[in-house]
Each structure stands twice: as structure tokens, then as C-alpha cells.
Amino acid sequence: MADCDLCGVAIPTVCPVKVFSPKFENSYPEGVWKGLCGSCLEKAKKAYDEATESKKTGTFGKCNLCGAEGQLQDVEINIPSFSKGYELERKKICMKCLEQSSEAYENKDELLGEHH
């Protein structure tokens, strides 16, 4: 079992997304792997598409995925909740992480080993 790094849901397999974390820049110069569930990956892809189409600048802050400070885009994530089923929460993600998430979304069947 693995936990999604955005919503925390535990599922058997998460989709790997390579992000460049400034905190681990010296230890892992190639980047670190974060795991996203299918729902979070889809929401990140949607946010990336919207940001590139409308050329949104976003808000300044700290990315919830890699920890870098910069311009961030809002991504609405479904956080599991025992009382309500799920709650919508806005996560702030930088464009680099959204771009990597978009690439992982395009290759998710290949990465997870699913064949149609």
C-alpha cells in the first residue's frame, strides 16, 4: 500500500511523479519521486491545462508537492473524510510540478503497467 502525497488516500499503486525539491537539491540533484493517486493526477493535469491556456500567473507561496517557493496554481483535491465522504481542499502547486504531473498523466498506463 502507498499513500498519495496530496490527498493521503492509501491505495495499492500510486503514479510516480518526479519533482525537484530544493530541500533535497544536494542529495538528489535529479529530483525525488512523489506518488499521486489517479484522482489527484487528473486534477493536476486539469489545472496545468487551464494554467497554460489562460496564462494564469497564480499566487506566490510554497508548493505543497515539492516545497519550492514561487508562483503557484490552485488545484482542488478531494480529501477523504469519515463524516462527509470527502472534502474539497485547495492545494497550491508550482508549474514545474504541474508540468511533471501532466507528463506522468500522459504516461500513467505505461508507468503503472496497465495494458488495454
In the chain, domain spans: 2-112
- Per-residue pLDDT band for 29 (boundaries 50, 70, 90) equals confident
pLDDT of 100: 94
Largest CA distance in the chain: 42
Band (pLDDT 50/70/90 cuts) for residue 73 is very high
The band of 115, judged by pLDDT with boundaries at 50, 70 and 90, is very low
Averaged pLDDT for residues 93-101 = 94
Q: Which three cell numbers stand for residue 3?
A: 499513500
Check pLDDT > 90 for residue 102.
yes
Residue with cell 495494458: 115
Look over the chain and give the mean of its residue pLDDT values, rounded to a whole number. Answer: 88
Residue 15 and residue 36 in contact, taking contact as beta carbons nearer than 8 Å: yes
Q: Kindly state the average pLDDT of the residues 83-88.
A: 86
